[in-house]
Every structure is written in C-alpha cells, then in structure tokens.
Amino acid sequence: MAVQIPLSTISQVDPNPIVEDTFFAGLLEQCLVNEAAPQWLQDIRQQSKSWLSHLSVPTRKDEDWRFIDLSPLTATKFVVSQDIETVYQSLPEAKHSCLVFVNGIYNPNLSDVSGLPEGVYLGSLANLPDDYDAAKYFSQQPGADAFTALNTAGGNEVAVIWADKNTVIETPIHLVFIADGKSESSFAQPRTLIVGSTGSSMALVEEYIGTGEYFTNAVTEVFVEGNARVNHTRLQQESDHSYHIGKTAISQDRDSQYTLHEINLGAKLLRHNPEVWQQGEQTETNLNGLTVATGEQTSDSHSIIALSKPHGTTNQLHKCIVGDRAHTVFNGKVFVPKAAQLTDATQLNRNLMLSSKARVDTKPELQITADNVKCAHGATVSQLEAEEIFYLRSRGLSEDDANQLLIDAFAAEIVDRIPLESLRSKITQTIEQKVKH
C-alpha cells in the first residue's frame, strides 16, 4: 500500500508555496478562503497548499489513474461562482433536517435544521459551537492526494454533522450540493465533516446534482467512534456535462458499524475514492455500490479498506450497468496486515454490459499477511441472458419490458438496501430512463 499521511502531520511547510501545476494554480487563484477562520484551520490549509505545490494532475502514467483520461477536465477553463440562487428542492423526508449548498456556498434559505433532537449539530463549520473540537477531526484522515489537497487548501465552507455521545437521530439527515454551470463552466469544492460520537446512531443522504458544465471536487470525512452506527447514502446525479472527483474517508473505532450506499448515475467523468480505515477491534464495514453509465460516460471507483485490529468484518459489493460506449472502472483494495487476525472480508464486483461497445475494467485486490482470516474476492462480467429474456417473453412481456425487468432486478440488490423509500423509487426511475435512451 502506498504511504499516505494526514495533511496535518506534514512537518515541513513552505510559508510561501508556489503551486506549479497550471490547472491547480488556476483554480486556487479563484478560491475565496475565509481569512477569519480559526488559526488551526488556516494552518491546515497552508499545510495542504504546501503539499499541493509538490503535486500535479494525475495522468495515465500513474497506476491508479491509468484507465481514465483527465485531459478534457484540465483543458476546460472553470470559474468559481458565488451565485447561490436555485430552484432545486430537497426530499420530503429531509424537510426538517436538510443542509443545502449551492456552488459550494451554504444557502440558509433552502436549508432547514429544525426538528432535530438534542445533542445534534447540523450546520456550517463557521457556526460550530466552541465546545465541539473540530480540529481533532478535520483533515486527520490518511491520504494526502492531489485533489484532496486542492479541496483542503482552497475550500470555502464546510458542512458539519455531529452527533453527541449516545444520541440517536431517527430522521435521516439530507445534504444537498447543487452546482450551476448553465452560463459558464463553474467550479465548487464541497467539504463535509461527519462525527458519530460514542454510542450514537445516524442515517444521512449526501446528494450531488446540477445543470450545465462544471467541476465538483468533493471531500467527505466520516468518524465513527466506539459502538456508533452510521448509515450513509451517497447519490451522485450530476449533469451529463460535468466532472466529479470525490473522496469519502472513513475512520472507525472499536465495535463501530459503518454502511455506505454509493449510487453513481451522472457526470461525464466520475472518480470516487471510498477509503475506510478500521482502527478498532470488532469493527464492521459495509460498502454497497451501484454505477449506471450510458452514452460516453466514464465512471471510476477506487476503494481502500484497511484493517489494523482483530475481528474486523468487511463486506463490499459493487455493481455496474454499462451501456452504449460508456466505460466503468472498479479497483478495490483490501489490506489485512498481520495484526488483523480473525478478519472476515468479502469483496465482489459484478458488471452487466448492455452494449458490445461498452467497456469494463475491474481489479479486486486482497493483500493479506495475517494467517488466521476468512477472505474472498471476485469479479464477473456478463450480458443479459437470452434464455431469461425468452422465458419472460413467453409469459407475455415485450422484449423491452423483459430487458428492463432484468436490469431492475440486477440493480435492486443494491437499491433495496437504501433506507428511504422515496429515494429508492427515484433511483429506480432514473435507471429506467437512462437505459432506455
């Protein structure tokens, strides 16, 4: 595993760093950083900018990026927008627990934080009460890659969800990040900090939507403390002309449980990096992923699950539906060092190809040095079965209806695990619309 360190531990910080990569430098010049931010946050941003000055945009020569081409992204001139007007509405279930950010800026008029139980903070980092120690968590995850460093160095506002000790949040919290690239190619860097304190429980939906051409560079940090539970749904439904690069970094303590439902439906080019760091015994991680790519979309998911203690459990299932000339990539790495004895880890990537011109690259990986574990991984690539279509048509279904029923059944294994019924229906309808075109 490549050496990755938290940005906050970088000791040599250039007080006047010069970012030489022209793409990163052009974006950073436009970023409006809050100069009234606390000193610890300014220090982390400076550390991140210093680190970024030594990095450049990944290319196909980089092993983890060899399947996708970022040149269309770097060739586009993006502008940071300050417009927060929008007509989007939140989900009905989230009307009393919703944060909305437009072009990376908090929109209080569309947000509603009423109705939450005591012991919960839902809002921006700028308004976080002093008794919450955000410096203990912000940017403390491993993995100082270039796009994460860009987000940390040039990000503006931070969405915060914080559940106090033993607090149970029954109503799912909804985060909505809206991008507007109708008039010009825009750029936004959503940042989210989620803290589930000891014994707490929460469910949340993180949604990305937008119009026009734009670039979203998102980072979400999740801390699940001892005996806490976090059920996290990440829905990416960006514009078909957009670029989306995101990281979801998760740190878990002893006896904690974290579940991620990752749904990727939009974006011209998507790269998402879920990274899980199990740091306590008897820790449970569930990663459920579904990608639907059509047209000429490129969707890339690179995940890391790193165990470090005994009795850890991980279960990862990532499915891809690929049509037309679309391209999907799955690279999943599970690390089981010698200290992680009695681990139970499974990883499976299943791909359904709807076109002979579609492309799938899959590479599930297990790196095991412990000698008392139960681990398995695999990948499958298949098409719609002619026998199954024939059987359904013999029962009176048209060919299109038979195809759609099989596609829905393939996706349902992931979609049905999402806790919100309205969201499940919305995703199912979107999938049907995508594969019919």
Domain closes at, from 279, 313, 347: 279
Specify whether 274 is located in the same domain as 392. Answer: no
User: Does 287 map to a domain?
Assistant: no
**Average of per-residue pLDDT across 82-100:** 64
- pLDDT of 228 higher than 50: yes
User: Does 110 map to a domain?
Assistant: yes
User: Does 362 map to a domain?
Assistant: no
Using CA atoms, how far apart are residues 38 and 183, in angstroms rounded to an integer?
Answer: 34
Please, which pLDDT band fits residue 143 given cuts at 50, 70 and 90? low
Using CA atoms, how far apart are residues 428 and 437, in angstroms rounded to an integer?
Answer: 15
Specify whether 40 is located in the same domain as 155. Answer: yes
Specify whether 115 is located in the same domain as 256. Answer: yes
> Helix (H, G, I), strand (E, B), or coil: what is residue 4?
coil
Strands 191-196 and 344-353, by their bridges, are unpaired
Specify whether 388 is located in the same domain as 275. Answer: no
Please, which pLDDT band fits residue 12 given cuts at 50, 70 and 90? low
User: Does 39 map to a domain?
Assistant: yes
The pLDDT value recorded for residue 409 is: 96
- pLDDT of 417 higher than 50: yes
**pLDDT, tens digit (0-9, with 9 covering 90-100), for 243-301:** 999 999 999 999 999 999 999 999 999 999 999 999 999 999 999 999 999 999 999 99
Using CA atoms, how far apart are residues 314 and 252, in angstroms rounded to an integer?
Answer: 12
Q: Answer whether 171's CB lies under 8 Å from 180's CB.
A: no
Query: 14: domain range?
Result: 7-279
The pLDDT value recorded for residue 3 is: 36
User: Does 319 map to a domain?
Assistant: no
**Average of per-residue pLDDT across 60-86:** 89
User: Does 271 map to a domain?
Assistant: yes
**Average of per-residue pLDDT across 21-48:** 89
**Average of per-residue pLDDT across 316-335:** 97
The pLDDT value recorded for residue 168 is: 96
**Average of per-residue pLDDT across 156-181:** 93
The model's pTM is: 0.94
**pLDDT, tens digit (0-9, with 9 covering 90-100), for 333-390:** 999 999 999 999 999 999 999 999 999 999 999 999 999 999 999 999 999 999 999 9
The pLDDT value recorded for residue 183 is: 80
Using CA atoms, how far apart are residues 86 and 415, in angstroms rounded to an integer?
Answer: 28
Backbone angles phi, psi at 59, to 5 degrees: -125, 180
Q: Answer whether 419's CB lies under 8 Å from 231's CB.
A: yes
- pLDDT of 242 higher than 50: yes
Give the alpha-carbon dihedral of 333, 338, 342, 346, to 10 degrees. Answer: 10
Using CA atoms, how far apart are residues 324 and 57, in angstroms rounded to an integer?
Answer: 28
How many secondary structure helices (H) and strands (E) does the chain include? Answer: 7, 19
Domain closes at, from 250, 279, 308: 279
Domain closes at, from 249, 279, 309: 279
- pLDDT of 170 higher than 90: no
The pLDDT value recorded for residue 17 is: 82
Tokens of 222: 């999740």
Specify whether 117 is located in the same domain as 246. Answer: yes
Tokens of 108: 């209080």
**Average of per-residue pLDDT across 13-36:** 84
Using CA atoms, how far apart are residues 8 and 146, in angstroms rounded to an integer?
Answer: 15
Q: How many residues are present in the chain?
A: 437
Specify whether 95 is located in the same domain as 223. Answer: yes
Using CA atoms, how far apart are residues 185 and 239, in angstroms rounded to an integer?
Answer: 12
Q: Answer whether 172's CB lies under 8 Å from 94's CB.
A: yes
Using CA atoms, how far apart are residues 83 and 107, in angstroms rounded to an integer?
Answer: 10
Specify whether 93 is located in the same domain as 230. Answer: yes
User: How many structural domains comprise the chain?
Assistant: 2
Q: Where are the alpha helices (DSSP H) in 376-420?
A: 386-394, 399-415
The pLDDT value recorded for residue 340 is: 97
Using CA atoms, how far apart are residues 403 and 346, in angstroms rounded to an integer?
Answer: 29
Contacts of 401 (CB under 8 A, 6+ apart): 392
User: Does 247 map to a domain?
Assistant: yes
Cα–Cα distance list, 191 to 75, 159, 176, 246 (Å)? 24, 6, 12, 10
User: Does 428 map to a domain?
Assistant: yes
The pLDDT value recorded for residue 5 is: 46
Q: Answer whether 345's CB lies under 8 Å from 367's CB.
A: no
Helix H, strand E, coil C: the string for 187-208 is EECCEEEEEECCCCEEEEEEEE
**Average of per-residue pLDDT across 214-233:** 98
Say how many Å lie between the first and final Cα of the chain, rounded: 41
Give bridge partners of residue 231 from the DSSP assignment: 203, 259
231 or 117: which carries more pLDDT confidence?
A: 231
The pLDDT value recorded for residue 396 is: 95
Question: Which DSSP string do the residues of 51-91 spell out, in sequence order?
Answer: HHTT-----TTSGGGTT---HHHHTS--EE-----------
The pLDDT value recorded for residue 428 is: 95
